[in-house]
Amino acid sequence: MIEMIMVVIVLYIAFSIFFPGFSYKNKWSEALLLLTARDIVVTSDRIDKLYDYSFNQGALQDFLINSISNESIISWSDTDGAIKSRVVIACNCTNQQMVNLNTWMNGLNINGRQITTTQCYTNLETINPCMVSSDVLIIWGEKDLSNTIYSNTLQQYLKGDGGIVEIADFKSPLNQIQNDIFDLGDGGSWSSPDYDIVIKPTTADATTYQAYKIYTNGLKGNSSLSEFCKLPSIANKKVVPADDDSSKILVKINKEGGQATRATCAIFNSTRIAWISDFTDTTFDANHTKMLISILLATSNKRPSTSSIPSVSIGYMTPYINVKNADMYEVYKFDLGLGYPY
């Protein structure tokens, strides 16, 4: 009897291995995630709340609680291409310059959205925690960046998503690093600038487009345009794009002493690298500070944070292109993620 029982067990196991029963595994749970996320994003857009939910996690979570009946679903979200609601600025500058920057950027509002900023001091010798956490790096004042240590730090920083803005006038000839990173060339010596103009980009893919848009539509408003290219010292060098690419110029001198001139005071080498003349060494007004803020916001990191994605067993991101045009035309990608923890 024992042998017969053992034979039956062996035969049962053998048949189950060689002739397994038919089974069908559906993916309704995955499909439910995709459909739920799509419905939530589309509904948010149709009730004109998607912009608020994109940057207000509390409001988004309240909406999701009322929209999703399955309590086991985990949610997260990110934006890509939009100015962050909190911009971290690494500043190689003096304490007073950091105080000024904090004052100028206080109460910043774009499209009805509050933009807060945090500043931290950094040196240029190495990539430090201040730089790693920052969205944009400011180098304020004329620095001898030709030192290999400095140039290596800047090149390493640019491998991330943060931008670099230099605020400086130059009393000495520009070194090679100014050419390599900022595309700055020597334009001679100053005379007396008559007036300057902000150059409107001809295409939306121009390196200066976003800064121009933020300044003219978002910050400047109806205020009058004043001079930016100041004359701090007759010994200071005029600056031009090293490659003579006029599309990189945001603000330039139109006339100098009644004659056309080669001089600029705001140049972009890419959408993440910019130089602006130091307007603080002479009398300046709110338009100057708004121009600086526009350049900082334009060059700052707008990539999503990967740390916001939780650990899930199954999860999907649903992308959606959204547009906001209150006081500034803003186009960005909103990603809503839904997933199961197990």
Give the DSSP per-residue string, 42-95: HHHHHTT-HHHHHH-HHHHHHHHHHH---TT-EEEEEEESS--SEEEEEEES-H
Dist CA 309 CA 38 (whole Å): 18
Tokens 């909406």 — which residue?
63
pLDDT in tens, 67-102: 887 778 888 999 999 999 999 999 999 999 999 999
Dist CA 140 CA 97 (whole Å): 8
Tokens 């910043």 — which residue?
108
What predicted TM-score, i.e. pTM, was given to this entire model?
A: 0.84
| C-beta atoms surrounding 173 within 10 Å | 8
**For 255-258, which contacts have Cβ atoms below 8 Å and span 24 or more sequence positions?**
255/193, 255/194, 255/195, 256/190, 256/191, 256/192, 256/193, 256/194, 257/191, 257/192, 257/194, 258/194
- DSSP-H helix ranges across the chain: 2-18, 28-46, 50-55, 57-67, 95-104, 129-132, 148-157, 176-182, 209-213, 286-299
Name residues whose C-beta falls within 8 Å of residue 159's C-beta, 6 or more positions apart in sequence.
none
Residue 137 has φ and ψ, to the nearest 5°, of: -110, 130
Least confident range from 157-161, 284-288, 298-302: namely 284-288
pLDDT in tens, 163-182: 999 999 888 788 888 888 99
Classify 86-299 by CATH class: alpha beta
pLDDT at 313: 81
pLDDT at residue 204 greater than cutoff 80? yes
